[in-house]
Structure 1
């Protein structure tokens, strides 16, 4: 008989139901004392109040009362162990020694040495006041012509009436979008009177190729649509002759994100990404893991893989600094998971985090990035930022990711400004939302070989880098959002 219970780690005292289980269901020496919904947890041994529940081999919280073997474990009887900032101990260096791979992809080599996997024209507003101008320009050039993969406007709500670090973060993010290698050319659209005006914004950009990056101040031109159209045509005439060329996988930058997670995300989709991440970093690719609140409770696993003491200290500062961000707003650092996560079987933040960090596999952590900072180290990078899906994917793009692997158990249509490969944690989602999902990791629950699936996913990554469109590109689901942490004047 097929097993309906999955025990992830030999040390675990809970298993996950791979189908709805009715009270009285028997498997081995387990008798279900309650109905157990699909993807939720059943207890494998008696526990006393205060005892830890173990999943992935680590505590995900403690039971709040005595609980019998076979019981349903969820928010009614399980509570987080998380609390305030912690002290951590460095456990030693970890060598990172990538080996060049024979595998290549065909990308666009940019003048700064980075490589794009698309040759697009991006329209970047410096302020939300000109969003509609940018969107209208995108509409006008929906079929621009050969040699350009499309014209896309990235509207946002900021760029004015901000102060301090909050304003600085907006400018850094917008500058990183302008400089992204997937953009063969960029039109920067300014209103003219905003805080992030062109004179100020250009200081964040540094030197740019003015045949590829054009600027327009709407208050200074008679007709911003006609003027902007002429500038886009000039950019197109520059980039249309760009050609792909073979480059090594060490030029690949891959971001990882999970959203709408369920209890299978850490078992299938995230774990599969972890295997692929190990393969990518082993040949010198740059990978980026973010969502700091979804490291809480699992951060020591990542810290133990620090390349050196400097990377370890940066991890400690990132974790405790982000907890301080919560505390400064009078919010507990463990007020997560979301209602959708709860419905999908995830009870505590530790449980979510332990599943989330599976995306990093066992790769050595080579650097820790501040919000808005671009990755410069090969290997696995940790990126400071929140878990919010749109903010996170934007953060990954601005850190240099040319492509994002986005795992999901509940499903989401969200797409980033770069190709966003959606990976389902279960086959039911893959079948139900074929217009959203690019790859199914749910086959792992049916006994599929993880390494064979990793081969297939790596091949899809290379095909996508070579130009194959992801579902978010086909649907034109592309969004950005900037992290807001400050007053509005």
Structure 2
């Protein structure tokens, strides 16, 4: 089979490989003759589609025909236009979610903290309050890390630099402080050194207001302007933290203790067929065992948002989902930017033609579970199950927001490839085997095997086991490469 029709209602199919003009190809319901060469991952018209008619994929419209499209024609951005408009009015039509046969009951070896939270890494983090001390943080982490590298119970010392902490106003400043406070509380960090300059807006006193209660054995503070040698003093504080961090040992923990972020980047025409549904299956399995997942990238929900809305636990969660969507649209409108400036050039090259096309694939990472809560940006998770999180599609900003919300690891699907990694393990799932083989140093798991005859049931169980090995301490490719960065969302002015 050379084409895949995804839903009985579809009038297009996806090319599973590069197709040549004039060569009859088969799909699950018949045959069609491509009128031109068509790249793998792109769409082919299965019937004549008249100008103005909906183009249907996944059983939903992904846009309308901009011109008459004959059977066998390539369907893409040149002859497909979005159906999406501006801010919409929504109505709650709850849909019963399908029951899930969970993966076998499982535990993992995690680090249980004194506050009851569980981490999957036992690291020491150096978190600067302001960009002025980024290099100091880097030098402290490097020097202390070299001293501690022989101590096996500590997974490393890492700094997380960022460009903010000063010259911010209002909500931007408060959100920067809250994101940093969230990271200070993160259970993957056995110990944290908070590094300030001394004269910044987001100084340590302000961070403490956001931080709330903390364990002074676990969290240390240093103001660079107040010490004679900030590197030496910082290293000594990290070594003090190390004595505390070494007290933690891996122990058996229920998978219900896991909170996993769901993210995609560099998507292609196979994302909604392989990797995203695979991650969705994992999400359903984890939730069935009492765990939590968080889906974000709000602009990439536009066009599929009603699917999520109608899976809301109740009217309150539905209303919060409506606000999630419309508030992000208002953000674009306030800055006089087009709401539907998506997909990216790489998405289009990979076969995604419209935002609806992208969103219907993107939201599959959330599986079929009920949406139990909607989180604001910089808010930490507190309800077990599938959560939605307000954050943009930008890979690093969204990944940081997922970590700050409490995710111990992130599942990141990609069809184009990316080396990105953030402050928590970021596991890359390739949508196609060609990418997996081409970028073995970036990719952790190959979902492209679903296009080669492997069943979803079998691959989902293999993937479940693979994720648990990461929770148990195996390193992701991005960790091995040292890709550990954060980025904070900014919407206001800079002084």
Q: Same fold (TM over 0.5)?
A: yes
Deviations 1:338-396 (A, max 9, x none): 11101111110110000000101101100000000011111100000100000010000
Native 8 Å contact 2:52 2:64 kept in 1:
yes
Secondary structure of the 1:342 match is helix
Equivalence map 1:210-289=2 (5 Å): 210-289=216-295
Aligned to 2:11: 13
Q: How far is 1:111 from its partner?
A: 2.2
Native 8 Å contact 1:94 1:306 kept in 2:
no
Change (3 A) 1:201 1:96: farther
Native 8 Å contact 1:255 1:404 kept in 2:
yes
| Match 1:52 to one of 43, 51, 54 | 54
Aligned to 1:392: 398
Native 8 Å contact 1:122 1:154 kept in 2:
yes
Aligned to 1:442: 448
Secondary structure of the 1:142 match is helix
Native 8 Å contact 2:433 2:446 kept in 1:
yes
Native 8 Å contact 1:96 1:307 kept in 2:
no
Q: How far is 1:18 from its partner?
A: 1.4
Aligned to 1:116: 119
Q: How far is 1:52 from its partner?
A: 0.7
Query: Separation in 2 of the partners of 1:405 and 1:95?
Result: 22
Equivalence map 1:127-166=2 (5 Å): 127-143=130-146, 144=148, 145-166=151-172
Native 8 Å contact 1:295 1:356 kept in 2:
yes
Query: Separation in 2 of the partners of 1:53 and 1:140?
Result: 58
Aligned to 1:362: 368
Aligned to 1:178: 184
Secondary structure of the 2:145 match is coil
Secondary structure of the 2:253 match is strand
Aligned to 1:87: 89
Query: Separation in 1 of the partners of 2:270 and 2:97?
Result: 31
Query: Separation in 2 of the partners of 1:436 and 1:448?
Result: 23
Native 8 Å contact 1:314 1:368 kept in 2:
yes
Aligned to 1:313: 319
Aligned to 2:78: 76
Change (3 A) 1:97 1:169: farther
| TM-score in terms of structure 2 length | 0.96
Q: How far is 1:94 from its partner?
A: 5.5
Using the TM superposition, name which of 31-40 and 395-404 deviates more.
Answer: 31-40
Aligned to 2:334: 328
Deviations 1:152-208 (A, max 9, x none): 000000011111111111111111010000000000010110000111111001121
Q: How far is 1:40 from its partner?
A: 0.8
Query: Separation in 1 of the partners of 2:97 and 2:430?
Result: 33
Query: Separation in 2 of the partners of 1:33 and 1:65?
Result: 16
Q: How far is 1:100 from its partner?
A: 11
Q: How far is 1:104 from its partner?
A: 0.8
Native 8 Å contact 1:100 1:284 kept in 2:
no
Native 8 Å contact 1:62 1:81 kept in 2:
yes
Secondary structure of the 1:275 match is helix
Aligned to 2:415: 409
Equivalence map 1:101-112=2 (5 Å): 102-112=105-115
Query: Separation in 1 of the partners of 2:383 and 2:110?
Result: 20
| Match 2:435 to one of 415, 429, 439 | 429
Aligned to 1:24: 22
Deviations 1:15-60 (A, max 9, x none): 1111111111212431111110121111111011111111111000
Secondary structure of the 1:318 match is helix
Deviations 1:422-462 (A, max 9, x none): 00000000001011111000000011111111101110111
Secondary structure of the 1:255 match is strand
Mind listing any 5+ residue stretches in structure 1 that lack a counterpart? none
Query: Separation in 1 of the partners of 2:44 and 2:286?
Result: 35
Which contiguous aligned blocks of 4+ residues in structure 1 show a shift greater than 3 angstroms? 92-102
Query: Separation in 2 of the partners of 1:314 and 1:300?
Result: 13
Native 8 Å contact 2:98 2:368 kept in 1:
no
Secondary structure of the 1:350 match is helix
Native 8 Å contact 2:144 2:239 kept in 1:
no
Native 8 Å contact 1:93 1:309 kept in 2:
no
| TM-score in terms of structure 1 length | 0.98
Native 8 Å contact 1:159 1:167 kept in 2:
yes
Mind listing any 5+ residue stretches in structure 2 that lack a counterpart? none
Q: How far is 1:76 from its partner?
A: 0.6
Query: Separation in 1 of the partners of 2:97 and 2:185?
Result: 31
Native 8 Å contact 1:9 1:55 kept in 2:
yes
